[in-house]
Each structure stands twice: as structure tokens, then as C-alpha cells.
Chains A and B, each alone.
Chain A
Amino acid sequence: MGKQDTLRIDGRDVAIDAERNLLELVRKAGIELPTFCYHSDLSIYGACRLCLVDIEGRGIQSACSTPPEPGMRLRTNTGELREIRRTTLELLLANHDGSCPTCIKSADCKLQALARRMGVDKVRFKAPTRPAPLDESSPALVRDPNKCVLCGDCVRVCNEIQGVGAIDFAYRGSQAAVVPAFGKQLGDVECVNCGQCAAFCPTGALAPRSETAAIWQALDDPRKKVVAQIAPAVRVALGEAFDQPAASQTTGRIVAALKAIGFDAVYDTSFTADLTVIEEGTEFLQRKVNGGILPQFTSCCPAWVKYAEQYYPDLLPNLSTCKSPQQMFGSLARQVLPRILDTAPEDLVVVSIMPCTAKKYEAQRSEFSQDGRRDVDAVMTTQELARMIQEAGLDFSSLEPESLDMPFGFHTGAGVIFGNSGGVSEAVLRFAVEKITGKPAGQVDFHEVRGEGGLREASLTVDGTEVRIAIVHGLANAKLVADQVRAGTAPYDLIEVMTCPGGCISGAGQPVAHNGHTRQDRARSLYEADKSLPLHRSQDNPFIDRCYQEHLGAVGGTVAHRLLHTHYHGRKRLESEALPLSEGNGDGKIQVKVCAGTACFLRGSQKLLHALLGYVEEHSLQNMVDVRANFCSEQCAAGPTVIIGDKVLQHCTLERVRDVLDAELANHQ
């Protein structure tokens, strides 16, 4: 065996294993070097200049971007290094809107914590006086550019983990800023609302949008019956906000807290997760048996659904038509709860408690409203729930646990593990295996689908039927799989997609994680919750049976379809003007808009435009026809799309455009 390579950190020899950079080694040696811009999941940026070390013979270097070499001698804590770090923090603080007492991130702010740790007791530099407006356009997030320290964490997580790139650095020098494309607002661009930018943001520059004011208002109204649904992942993380050991089970105390706050009934989203398993599992088996469209993608994650609508409109038929558990709960609640709670339908207020910011967006989607009333009135994150409990003055850890209300409080372990990456697949397997074999499966745990990797595969054979599953988290991984499906090379039947790392347990609405193993703790805790429940298969949930008998009829039947299923449509990424290609302002001419969005572009809309412009010129129609290239007509599956007047032409060819245009011209004259 060769001699172990070492280097020397502050006079101590430290063995070099597989560390990629000095920072990892220094931290292995038990020294917590400060960092803003370093995240082990992201690319190395080396911008914040806080992890500086003094390397003998090389001078001061950033530890994150220096690979370890045997024999290096470095110091992490010299007077010079401390002075540089303090100055760096002072400069950051000078550019930062320090309205800490009112900042939502205050208690979890890395800038605040590091300034305190590094002993910064005054800021010698003058603040620039150029306040930028708050961006409140997104249903999920609030962006406050005045608090941004330009560490780029948000830019990299959006790009590298989610493959979206909705925000990026723009401008230069003192003007530099992180902004959506063309300086637009976050609500007008391709942001999928996953909120991981806010989860990675060390300050309050990006934060989940709070809905607690509206919820308090409903609670204060004596006419309203306010009910809550709690998502699985909330219960294993809320305790962290009250200094409880990470991932301690809190369901009973959450119920007690919500009742004390004034909620009339508290239910469990795991119940509708059980319902999702039955509907989605049945849909999957039907597709599998009847030769339907496979692979089937899961559709529980609203960030993934928006991503698919924007980038893979051609694959929307592969998405399960099932609503997410949150929205299944919303429709069922509207249908059933007014009678159970003896209230007028208009007085029922449905509140979700979610680990997720994208759920705020999902609840606003027009598909999930009936007669102008949203199925889910308000969505609060785990963080917001913690704040409501604190605001109400409740001592969370000493609350006496209470039970969830029936019927929508009864759930099986299958509905609980939904919060973990792999959980939806496992829950569906527990259902599907029994359906395929026709007898209750002895096996409950499917360890094949568990794990932490961002792209995992599992395959199992049940009674000669092979079921091949892919499990992904992070939309950049989803893109890899979706590209395979598009190319026809994906060897899968079922593909589970969750946007956040590790699944819903790491949603952006969860309390800010303070250590590296929070995610693992939460995941383990969800599997333990499953174990501790009496039932583990959704089909064994007696209240689900009753729900079908009393309200839904047959599984996958007409009523179930109306209440529990939905549809998707191609979606433009950016609110953007069309590009005029004819002279003049187009008044009085026939408007022709050729879609130049990605899906149509790939289907040859550029050639179509070229030919159309040639046709217009050849026949001297410039004074009668106004041609524009527009960015996405949201008909992506049927592209290329051309809009002539008010006619939408799908799968368009030049012949088609010519025929319709000639007819319009004849009418026009």
C-alpha cells in the first residue's frame, strides 16, 4: 500500500482523500471556513473571496478553487486573512439593504451570521443610493435586488440543477445585477417557481412569497370555515424551525397548533396522495396493458409540469393526467366538505401547507378554479406555518398532539413517502404489483427505487411483466430523460420527476437547512413515518374506498375524471412582443403571425417564414399583409403554428398559409 498523501493545514497534517479542493479538506479538518458562493452541488465560482487561505510559496488563494497537492502548507487563520475577510464583508454590507429586522430571511441570513462571526462591528463604506424596485410579479417568490450580494448561487442552481436559467447576471461593474431576461419581472419569464434560488440565496434577495396575511384574515372572519391540508414533507421539517432535532415527527403537534390558531379542520394531503396512487396507478396499468402512450411521467410536481409545458410540449401526452395531491384535495374539498362541515360553499376556505413554492403557482392555475373560485384558496409554506405559530405565541414543543380530522385525515404510508424522491414510484408499485398479480403483495418496501442519486433506474418483473422505472430529481436531470423519450430511446415505462433535490423534502418552502445531512434526516424520517403507520398501501385505505363509493364512482370513471384529472398545454416562456417583419405599423393589413418559439422553430417555422416573405414580395402584397414572428402561440404540440387574422393554423405548410391568406385577401378586398 502506498503512503497516504498529506498536506499541512495550520500545522496539522491532513490526509488527502478524494477531496476536489482545499475547502473540502479544510472543512474535513474541522475548520469551518466561511463561504457564500460555494455549494458542493454547484460549479465552483470563486467569487465571494471569503474562503481565502495563505499557501506557503503561493500566497493568498481561494480554497474552493484550488485543488489539493501533497506537501502543501497552508494557514487558514492569520491576521491578514481575518482583515481581508472583514473588509470583504464590509464591502458586501455596504451594498446590501440592511433592513434586517423586517427581512423575512433575518434569522437565517448567512450575511448577517458571517458578519457577526467575523467580528464586523461597523461598515466604513457609504451605501449607494439607488434603490431598485421590489419584484412581486411571481406567484411564488419575491425578489429584492437591494439585498443581492451577487454571489451567483441562484443563477447557478437555476442553470445547473434546474436547467432553466431564468435569471442571470447582467450589466457590469457597479451596475451588475442578477435579473430575468431583458430586465423583465420574474412572473413574466420562464421561471418554474421551484424556489431553489431562494433556498440557495444567502440573504433575503430571493424569498418565498408570503400568504399568511390573507390566511389570518380568513381565520378572523367568523363566517368562514377554514380547513388545512398538510403535505407529507411538512411534518418532518417543521420541528427544525423550533430547534427540535431535525426531522422529528410533528404531525400531532401541527394539528394542535393549527386548531389553536383557529383552523376548523385539519386534513392530510397524504390522503389525496393515496387517491393519486389509485388514479395514477390505474392510468399507468391501462397505458401498459392497452398499449397507450408510455413512458408515463408523474405530474405531482407543478414546477416540472410548467417546465414540461414550456420545453417539452410534444411530451405532454406522456404526463399523467392526474391532478397533484394538493389539487385533488382542493376539488374534493369543494365537493364534499361544505356538507360535512355544515357550511355554505362560499364560506369554505381551503388552505394548503406545503414544503413548496411552486404549489403557490399551481393553486393559481386557471384549470384549478371553478366559476372564478380557486379550489385551493391559499398556500403557505412550512416556513410560513412556523411564523404563524410563533406569531400566535404558541410553545410548539409543549403542545399536546391532536389527531387529524376524518375523512381526509386518514392516510397510509404510501401517501406519506410521496415527499421523497422515489416515493411516488414506490407507492405506485405497492398498488400496481397487487393489481398485476391479482393478490395482495407481501412486499411493501421497494428498495430498488430508494436512494439519493439525481437520476436512478429500477426494474422489476411482476408475473412476467417487466416494469422499468426512472426516478429523477432536478430538472436538468429531467431534461436528460425527456430528451431520451423525445428521441425514442428511453427504456422506461414510468418516470418520476421531482424538481427539488431529493424531492419535496427539500422544497424551497422548508426551513433553511443548517447542516449537510438535513435532507437525509428528513428522507429517513418519512420512511420511518411509513413504517409506524398501520397501513402501507393506498388501496388499503378504507376512507379511499368510501370516497369512491360516496363521491367518485368508479376508479378512472367520469366523475373521478372530472374531479381528479386535468390537462396541460404548451406554454410560452417569456412575455414578449412579436418581431415585425413588414414595414409600417400593420394597421389595416391582414395580420400573419408565424410562431418562432422553440417547438415551431425546430419544426421549420424559419423556412416557412422565409417562403412566406418571398411570397408576399413576389405578389406585391406588402401593403396588404403584415408579417410578424411571434414567440410561442402556446400550440407547441401542433407546430409550426401560423395565425392569420383570427385563424390558427396548426401543422402549417406554405401551401396552407397561401390558401388561407389568398382567401383572406379575397375577403379583404
Chain B
Amino acid sequence: MQMTHVEPRTRSDQFEAVCAIIERHGRQPAKLIPILQAVQDEYTYLPEEVLNFVATALAIPPARVFGVATFYTYFALEPKGKYVVRLCDGTACHVKDSIPILEALRSRLNLSEEHKTTPDMLFTVETVACLGACGLAPVVMVNGEVHSLMTPEKAESLIEDLKQAEAAAVAGEEG
């Protein structure tokens, strides 16, 4: 797996981007969903203060923005880890035993249904209803990259590889 080192965006860059997103959509409340999508692309999740700013800019109640943001599972209100591990639990993956994979991932990372992200902000484990790759079931996707025909063991070694790559990157920076 390739490790790309991206310079993190500064908070002021992100804020400028949010302003640009809102302006690009003409401050129209009807464009709330595309605005939230673009904001999430910027922050990887939807911080409360940013949602509040969006509500102010669109002149709609913050409760409405919160309602839309919580309706769609695509939107996240909590920060996600550097690696977002999405386990498909659609029908095909489910009958091919996706749940043991989920359990292995969670127990390896000490996560649960309530706690989806590791405290070091490295991993987030979540389930999705279908990734559309049913022929390759069961499927796990890590930051957009699909891993097919998974087993609990393969999932664990995937996590182990990512952890080692991270440790190497940190050591490289320090060295």
C-alpha cells in the first residue's frame, strides 16, 4: 500500500474553503446537502462550529442543518481516523460471513458499535450497506481502496500492515 504524505491543511485554509463553498452555492438553503458534502470533504467530518457557521450563512435554523447532517449516514459528526475502514454488510457480504470480519477488526483495534475511532485517531471502523462489489464478497474498503474476498485473518493483517507503515513513517520523520 502506498503511503502518501500530504501536508495537512491549516484551519484558516479550511475556513476559507468553507466560505468559498457557501458562496459557490449562492448561499441557497436548497443547496444544503451539496454544501455539507463539500464541507465534509474539507474537514473529513462536520464539526459543530462549522455547521453553525453554515446555518448562519444560509439563514436557516441550526436544528435544520443538524437534522440533515444526522439523517444521512454519509455525513459524520465526529472526526474520523486517518484510515477509514468500511466493512460491507450488504446482503452478499453478510451471507459470506462479514460479521466475523467486523468482530475481528473491532477486537484488534479495541473498538465497538459506539466507539468507532481509535484514540490515536488512526483508525475508524464502520459498516456500509453495500459497496456494489458483491462478486468480490466479503469486501472491506480502506480510504477508497477495495480489498476483496476478506477473512478475519486477512483483515487483521491489513490493520497490522497499516500500523507498521505508520510507525515507519513516524520513525522516518524523526530520523
Interface residues of A, Cβ cutoff 8 Å to B? 159, 164-172, 179-183, 189-190, 573-574, 576-583, 596-598, 601, 606, 609-610, 613, 616-617, 627, 629, 631
Instruction: Select A601's contact among B10, B11, B56, beta carbons within 8 Å.
Output: B56
10 residue pairs bridging A and B, Cβ less than 8 Å apart = A165-B60, A170-B63, A171-B70, A181-B65, A182-B48, A182-B62, A573-B62, A609-B15, A627-B12, A631-B49
Complex interface: chain B residues within 8 A of A573 (CB): 62
- Flag B44-74 by CB within 8 Å of A: 1 or 0 each: 0001111111011101111111110011010
Q: Is B16 an interface residue when CB atoms closer than 8 A count as contact?
A: yes
Is B19 located at the chain interface by the 8 A CB criterion?
Answer: yes
Footprint of A on B, CB under 8 Å? 10-12, 15-16, 19, 47-53, 55-57, 59-67, 70-71, 73
- The CA-CA distance from A631 to B10 in the complex, in Å, is 21
Question: Judging by beta carbons under 8 Å apart, are A576 and B49 in contact?
Answer: yes
Query: Which of B12, B50, B62 contacts A181 (CB under 8 A)?
Result: B62
**CB-defined contacts of B61 to chain A, threshold 8 Å:** 159, 164-166, 168, 181, 190
Residues of B within 8 A of A617 (CB): 12
B83 to chain A minimum Cβ distance, whole angstroms, is: 23
Whether B16 contacts A610 by the Cβ 8 Å rule is yes
Q: How far is the CB of A392 from chain B (nearest CB, A)?
A: 40
Closest Cβ neighbor of B62 among chain A residues:
A181
Question: What separation, in Å, do the CA atoms of A525 and B168 have in the docked complex?
Answer: 82
Known: A578-B49, A598-B59. 13 other contacts (CB 8 A): A168-B67, A169-B71, A181-B52, A181-B66, A182-B51, A189-B62, A577-B49, A581-B11, A582-B11, A596-B53, A610-B19, A616-B12, A631-B53
Q: Which of A182, A627, A629 contacts B53 (CB 8 A)?
A: A629
Nearest-Cβ distance from residue B106 to partner chain A, whole angstroms: 20
Provide the bound-state CA to CA distance between A180 and B59, in Å. 16
- Closest B residue to A578 by beta carbon equals B49
Give me the 6 closest cross-chain CB pairs, A-B, nearest first. Answer: A165-B61, A181-B62, A579-B49, A168-B63, A181-B63, A168-B67
| Residue pair A596, B70 in contact (C-beta under 8 Å) | no
Q: Are A166 and B63 in contact (CB under 8 A)?
A: yes
Residues B63 and A580 in contact, CB atoms below 8 Å apart: no
Tell me whether B63 and A597 are in contact (CB under 8 A). Answer: no
Q: A166 to B65: give the CA distance in the assembly, Å.
A: 11
Query: Contact between A170 and B56 (Cβ–Cβ < 8 Å)?
Result: no
Across the interface, A574 reaches (CB within 8 A) one of B11, B47, B52, B73, namely: B52
Given A165-B61, A596-B53, A596-B56, A170 contacting B71 (CB threshold 8 A): yes
Residues of chain A within 8 A (CB-CB) of B62 are: 181-182, 189-190, 573-574
| Set A170, A172, A582: member contacting B12, Cβ < 8 A | A582
- The answer to whether A189 touches B63, judged by C-beta atoms less than 8 angstroms apart, is yes
How far apart are the CA atoms of A577 and B150 in the complex, in Å? 42
What's the least CB distance linking A384 to chain B, in Å? 28
B49 pairs with A613, CB closer than 8 A: no
Interchain CB contact under 8 A, B56 and A180: no
- A579–B66 contact, CB under 8 A? no
Task: State whether A598 and B64 are in contact (beta carbons under 8 Å apart), knowing that A579-B50, A580-B11 are contacts in the complex.
Answer: no
A613–B13 Cα distance when bound, in Å, is 9
Note all chain A residues with C-beta closer than 8 A to B48.
182, 576-577
B49 touches A180 (CB 8 A): no
Contacts of B11 in A (CB 8 A): 580-583
Q: Looking across the interface, which residue of chain A has its beta carbon closest to that of B12? A: A613
Q: How far is the CB of A616 from chain B (nearest CB, A)?
A: 8
A182 and B66 in contact (CB under 8 A), knowing A168-B61, A579-B47, A598-B56? yes
Contact residue among B15, B56, B71 (Cβ-Cβ distance under 8 Å from A597): B56
Instruction: List the A side residues contacting B59 at CB < 8 Å.
Output: 598
Given contacts A166-B61, A579-B49, contact A183 B66 (CB under 8 A): yes
* Beta-carbon contact of B71 and A171 below 8 Å: yes
Contacts of B56 in A (CB 8 A): 596-598, 601, 631
How far does the Cβ of A425 sit from chain B's closest Cβ, in whole Å?
30
CA distance A646 to B105 in the complex (A): 49
